[in-house]
A and B are shown apart, each in its own frame.
Chain A
Amino acid sequence: MIEMPVPDQRIIAKRASIADRLRKIVPAEQVIHTSEELKAYECDGLNAYRQPPMLVVLPDTTAQVADIMKLCQSEGVPIVPRGSGTSLAGGSLPTADAVVLGLSRMKDVLEIDYENRTIRVQTGITNLAVTGAVQPDGFFYAPDPSSQLACAIGGNIAMNSGGAHCLKYGVTTNNLLGVTMVMADGEVVEFGGAYLDAGGYDFLSLICGSEGQLGICTEATLKILPAAEGARPMLFGFDTNEVAGEAVAAIIRAGLSPVALEFMDKPAITVSENFAKAGYPLDVEALLIVEVEGSEAEIDEQLTRIEAVVAPYKPSTVKRSGNDIESAKIWAGRKAAFGAIGQLADYICLDGCVPLSQLPDVLKQTAELAKKYDLKVANVFHAGDGNLHPLIMYEANDPDSSRKAEELGADLLRLCVEKDGCLTGEHGVGIEKRELMLTQFNERELRQQMAIKDVFDPAWTLNPAKVFPLSLSEPHIDDRRAA
């Protein structure tokens, strides 16, 4: 079980007065205080961990956010920023003495500039709504987390989220040009803007991926890109994971730059196929979905080249989509995978990343470890960049099964680090991987990162108990308060 810090009773004692003061900043109904309503904010996508916050406040403007921050700062109240609460790492898990600052009402598109290919939005807007705003004019916002219908841009920035198409277009940090951020003390600061590469220290880089610990992003300027004329996937089946892994490396090396390169292993294929009837072969060990984009002719040529590069790896299935219906079918199984597995069991979705050359070995060891813990693991992941998503199936209401699932998860993440990879490719550390940080970094390295938080949030009230092991952060905070 992951521990959370002991809530500060002195803060909880002030609950009523803080609520009153928040009601002076935002309309009364935007301060959520009944235990019934607070329940909606007790967890995020990592729903094995739940803790209702002291209060929730839902501002409409940056100025209100600034006033909320000033109030909380003066009272020493922890703040947990929240977008849509889809974090899989417990990134927006509250503490009992915290105010959750929800951005869900701030979802306006503020400006679209096609000539400069930028869009300015409030950060509570969903990822898909950003693309939705520019799609009629032939543009899109590139990072596409699978949760894009629900997740907010603020959450994407905080987690530096990725998606299937990031292989070609990069993740959030590569598509973020500027933010308006409310600092811990309520000061409103603009970082970057509607241009590339501002001079000075690269604060945007620090802000993106800081998991809500450096400030509250209320507005963002994002890059938008012209949409391709078309896109089509191709499906390959292989007899072993190893060979499929080698084929991935061959495609990347050949410079064929597909927009997506997704991998499914046998357990994932079986479950998805039963659920979605995508027509996947059931006699293979691994499937690759490779998507390319461009004009019809470009697509054909690229797929032909990819087929040729993969041929030496003797795929037992080769299926090329010829039209939109076939494309949708090939994607149907992949898109249904998480949901299909969710129908069978509770699952933990891991997010380690490894070098491509390690993929086959990591998949092999994953299967062995799963066997050791007597749990089922399915693998569905972004193979082009080595970002694994082992789904550990378990039973949430069986404590033994839950414990085993957590232990297996930790073992698998340690394996990723051992293989020269990392704990998290796109979901973030949150509370989930916090205690494992010392397997990837040493204490001095983490202290240097903590020093960055000191600079932005001297009192350490922003999103407590995330990212850094409690064994490091708690004494650090005590020292700072004593000093």
Chain B
Amino acid sequence: MMDTPDTEEGVAQAVQDAVIDSTPLEIRGAGTRLGLGRPLQAARTISLKALDGVTLYEPGELTLVAQAGMTLKALDDLLEGENQQLTFEPPDHRALLGTSGEPTLGGAIAVAASGPRRLRMGAARDAILGLRYVNGEGDILRAGGRVMKNVTGYDVPKLMCGAYGTLGVITEIGLKVMPKSEIVKTVAIAGLSDGKAISALAAALAMPCDVSAAAHLPDTVSRELGFSEAATLLRVEGFETQAAYRIERLIEALAAFGAVVEIHSDPWVAIRDVMMFAGDDRAVWRISMKATDAPLLVASLREQIDVEAFYDWGGGLVWLACEEGRDASAVAIRKTLAGFGGHATLMRASDAVRAAVPVFEPEIAPIATLSAGLKSRFDPAGILNPGRMRA
């Protein structure tokens, strides 16, 4: 049964109905990211698609409040009209997951989708000023607000971001947005090893150049985007003279690593959306870890399994593709990662594998207890996306 309410009260009603007959409720926006997390069996589905209005947009306050079902496309168009943009550059997971439809804001927030600009401007959670949600008892609740600074009570809005709809149905989100830069340029160094590349990115990020994205594509991956060898990439923004000055400084600082040249294509959408791993049937992992450890992890994995990797966030985000097999190499990946510290999330695999393998990094016991505690207090009946995050 699919409900598509066009009011918040309708959402609350749908949740209450599910509580009454204790039926699991799957929450969806456009469904483009349903392949993330663990597969779900739910007799009821609620779609937020019809809740797609803009509540408030004040460009002079860099503030936007929109309903969860608003599409990112409509949002981008609206912001574009004022030469503004979202701060966290949310990835579009359609190509990677082979889904269709127009991704919604609510979906991006629920899965905490943050792209390359996360490095400089923060993650999805950092952009959230407040939200409205329906908890697992069908109460319509507010958290946070619409102002830029707010420490009134616990920071529930950020908790909802990345909770995959397991703690509440997000109905409306207040966001901080940002102006677009006049100039956006990308510079590259060719042919670096992973280790050298991460050092180069670290050197660049230690410069006060407001680098807004920093990635490294090893040889085979870089070819997918038309490079002829490994490409170490930096995005620089600002007004004309500022961007030029920043590039000049980076050229100087990175001279020891090789020639820094401006490239005239934009690789960042492809990096954001993991296009290099789209369209095949390998398992895809997303690993958050200390940047300087990342090449060591990848080197160690290359000795154990057949794996392709690239790096975003200066190396702090590693994307891996490997053969799916029975467990998507979860054991090898998590065991190796444990030696460094970090979190591995299985971003793409068949339903069977995602049901069998912990998709999110297994929690240590005290944190698992806290997670279960929060779940039981936000959703006592356990009906909201049950099993989406943990079995």
B77 at the interface (CB under 8 A from A): no
Q: What 0/1 readout, one digit per residue, does chain A (248-271) give for beta carbons within 8 Å of chain B? A: 011011110100000000000000
Q: Which of B351-385 contact A (CB under 8 A)?
A: 360-361, 363-364, 366-367, 370-371, 373-374, 377-378
A117 to B173, CA, bound (A): 31
What CA separation (Å) do A30 and B272 show in the bound complex? 53
Contact B341 A301 (CB under 8 A): no
Interface centre among A171, A202, A208, A456 (most CB of B within 10 A): A202
Q: Which residues of B contact A424 (CB under 8 A)?
A: 150-152
Cα–Cα distance between A356 and B61 once the two chains are bound (Å) = 6
Chain A CB count within 10 A is highest, among B143, B208, B242, B313, for B208
Whether A249 pairs with B60 at a CB distance below 8 angstroms is yes
- Give the residue of B58, B208, B367 whose beta carbon is less than 8 angstroms from that of A191: B367
Which B53-92 residues have a C-beta within 8 angstroms of A? 58-63, 83-84
A196→B118 contact, CB < 8 A: yes
Whether B241 lies near A297 (C-beta < 8 A) is: yes
Q: Which residue of B lies closest to A354 (CB)?
A: B147
Q: A209 an interface residue at 8 Å Cβ cutoff?
A: yes
**Most B CB atoms within 10 A — which of A191, A385, A427?**
A385
- Say yes or no: is B254 at the interface (Cβ < 8 Å to chain A): no
| B377: contacting residue among A183, A189, A194, A454, CB under 8 A | A454
B182's nearest neighbour on chain A, judged by CB, is A255
A279 CB → nearest B CB, Å: 30
Interface size on A, residues (CB 8 A): 90
- Comparing A65-73, A223-231, A234-242, A392-400, the segment that makes contact with chain B is A223-231
Partner of A355, one of B146, B155, B162: B146
Q: Closest chain B residue to A250 by CB distance?
A: B60
User: CB-CB < 8 A to B126: which residues of A?
Assistant: 170, 173-174
CB-defined contacts of B139 to chain A, threshold 8 Å: 444, 448
- Which partner residue on chain A sits nearest B198 by CB separation? A115
The chain B residue sitting closest to A248, CB to CB, is B60
Contact B199 A196 (CB under 8 A): no
**Cβ of B207: which chain A residues have Cβ within 8 Å of it?**
226
Q: How far is B178's CA from A446's CA once the two chains are assembled, in angstroms?
A: 31
Alpha-carbon distance between A429 and B145 when the two chains are bound, in angstroms: 15
Q: Is B278 an interface residue (CB 8 A)?
A: no
Q: Mask for B114-131, Cβ within 8 A of A = 1, else 0?
A: 100011001101100000
The residue of chain A having its C-beta at the shortest distance from the C-beta of B140 within the complex is A444
Bits for B268-312, please: 1 = Cβ < 8 Å to A, else 0: 000000000000000000001111100000000000000000000
Shortest CB-to-CB span from B147 to chain A, Å, is 4
Q: A197-B118, A301-B242 are in contact. Are A209 and B155 (CB under 8 A)?
A: yes
- Name the contact of A387 in the complex, choosing from B63, B118, B149, B202 (C-beta under 8 A): B149
Do B292 and A421 have beta carbons less than 8 Å apart? no
Contacts A201-B374, A298-B242; A253 near B291 (Cβ below 8 A)? no
Asked if A373 is at the interface of the complex by the 8 Å CB criterion, the answer is no
Are A295 and B245 neighbours in the complex by a CB distance under 8 Å? yes
Which chain A residues in 436-459 approach chain B with CB under 8 Å?
A: 437, 440-441, 444-446, 448-449, 451-456
In the assembled complex, the Cα of A425 lies from the Cα of B343 at a distance in Å of 32
**Are the CB atoms of A189 and B366 closer together than 8 Å?**
yes
A198 vs B345: C-alpha distance in the bound complex, in angstroms?
Answer: 10
Which of A16-24, A159-167, A320-328 faces chain B? A159-167
What residues on B are CB-neighbors of A173 within 8 Å?
A: 126, 155, 158
Instruction: Establish whether residues B292 and A357, one from each chain, have CB atoms under 8 Å apart when the complex forms.
Output: no
With A197-B114, A198-B361, A201-B163 as known contacts, state yes or no: A422 contacts B147, CB within 8 Å. yes
Asked whether any CB of chain B lies closer than 8 Å to the CB of A386, the reply is: yes
Cβ-defined contact, B151 with A425, below 8 A: yes
CB neighbours (8 Å) of B112 from chain A are: 197, 202
| B159-A353 in contact (CB<8A) | no
Asked if B161 and A448 sit within 8 Å, CB to CB, the answer is no
A105→B366 CA distance, assembly (Å): 27
Contact A200 B61 (CB under 8 A): no
Q: Does B260 belong to the interface (CB within 8 Å)?
A: no
Given known A-B contacts A170-B126, A196-B118, A201-B371, A467 and B149 have beta carbons under 8 A apart: no
In angstroms, Cα B167 to Cα A84, docked, is 35
Q: How far is the CB of B313 from chain A (nearest CB, A)?
A: 6
**Chain A nearest Cβ from B374, distance in angstroms:** 6
Total inter-chain residue pairs, C-beta < 8 Å: 243
Instruction: Decide if A420 touches B145 in the complex (CB within 8 Å).
Output: yes
User: Are B61 and A355 in touch, CB under 8 angstroms?
Assistant: yes
Question: What's the least CB distance linking A453 to chain B, in Å?
Answer: 8
Instruction: Specify the chain A residue showing the minimal Cβ separation from B61.
Output: A356
Query: Are the C-beta atoms of A199 and B145 separated by less than 8 Å?
Result: no
Question: In the bound complex, what is the Cα–Cα distance between A210 and B122 (angstroms)?
Answer: 21
A297 touches which of B158, B179, B245, B343 (Cβ 8 Å):
B245
Map CB proximity to A onto B38-66 as digits: 1 under 8 Å, 0 otherwise. Answer: 00000000000000000000111111000
**With A and B bound together, what is the CA distance between A113 and B293 in angstroms?**
12
Which chain A residue shows the least CB distance to B377? A451
CB of A252 to closest CB in B, whole Å:
6
State the Cβ distance, A245 to closest chain B Cβ, in Å.
11
Residue A313 at the chain B interface, CB threshold 8 Å: no
Q: Are B289 and A160 in contact (CB under 8 A)?
A: no
Q: Is there a chain B Cβ closer than 8 Å to A206's Cβ?
A: yes
Closest to A167 in B: B148
List residues of chain B with CB within 8 A of the CB of A252.
60-62
Instruction: Determine the distance from Cα of A280 to Cα of B320 in the docked complex, in whole angstroms.
Output: 58
Distance in angstroms between the alpha carbons of A456 and B135 in the assembled complex: 19
Q: Distance (Å) between the CB of A362 and the closest chain B CB?
A: 12
Given A194-B341, A199-B288; A115-B151 close (CB under 8 Å)? no
Whether B374 pairs with A455 at a CB distance below 8 angstroms is: yes
Taking the complex as formed, is B316 at the interface, i.e. its CB lies under 8 A from any CB of chain A?
yes
Q: CB within 8 A of A199: which of B123, B158, B360?
A: B360
Among residues 171 to 204 in chain B, which have CB atoms less than 8 Å away from a CB atom of chain A?
A: 178-181, 199, 202
- Knowing A195-B343, A297-B245, A441-B142, the reply to whether A201 touches B63 (Cβ < 8 A) is no
Q: Is the CB of A198 within 8 A of B370?
A: no
Is B291 touching A199 in the complex (CB atoms < 8 A)?
Answer: no
Known: A294-B242, A456-B370. A193 touches B341 (CB 8 A): yes
Task: Name the CB-closest residue of A to B313.
Answer: A196
Structural contact, B179 and A257, CB atoms closer than 8 A: yes
Q: How far is the CA of A428 from the CA of B158 in the complex (A)?
A: 17
Could you tell me if B291 and A200 are in contact, using CB atoms closer than 8 angstroms?
no
Residue of A nearest to B133 (CB): A448
Knowing A254-B179, A355-B58 touch, does A209 contact B151 (C-beta < 8 A)? Answer: yes
Which B residues between 229 and 263 are near A, CB-CB below 8 angstroms?
Answer: 238-239, 241-242, 245
Can you name the residue of chain A whose Cβ is closest to the Cβ of B62? A252
Max chain A CB contacts within 10 Å: which of B123, B139, B206? B206
* A218 CA to B319 CA, complexed, in Å: 33
Contacts of B156 in A (CB 8 A): 206, 448-449, 452
B199 engages A115 (CB within 8 Å): yes
A174-B126, A226-B208 known; A115-B292 Cβ under 8 A: yes
User: Is A60 an interface position by the 8 A CB rule?
Assistant: no
For window 75-106 of chain A, which residues contact chain B by CB distance below 8 Å? Answer: none
A454 to chain B, nearest CB (A): 7
A160 in contact with B152 (CB, 8 Å): no
Across the two chains, which residue of chain B brings its CB closest to A139? B206
Whether the Cβ atoms of B135 and A253 lie closer than 8 Å is no
Inter-subunit contact A174/B149 (CB<8 Å): no
A189-B364, A297-B241, A425-B150 given; 14 more Cβ-contact pairs under 8 Å: A115-B292, A189-B367, A196-B119, A196-B316, A201-B374, A206-B158, A210-B154, A257-B179, A295-B245, A357-B61, A424-B152, A429-B152, A441-B152, A448-B141
Q: List 7 A-B contacts (CB under 8 A).
A: A194-B290, A255-B178, A301-B239, A356-B61, A422-B150, A449-B153, A467-B154
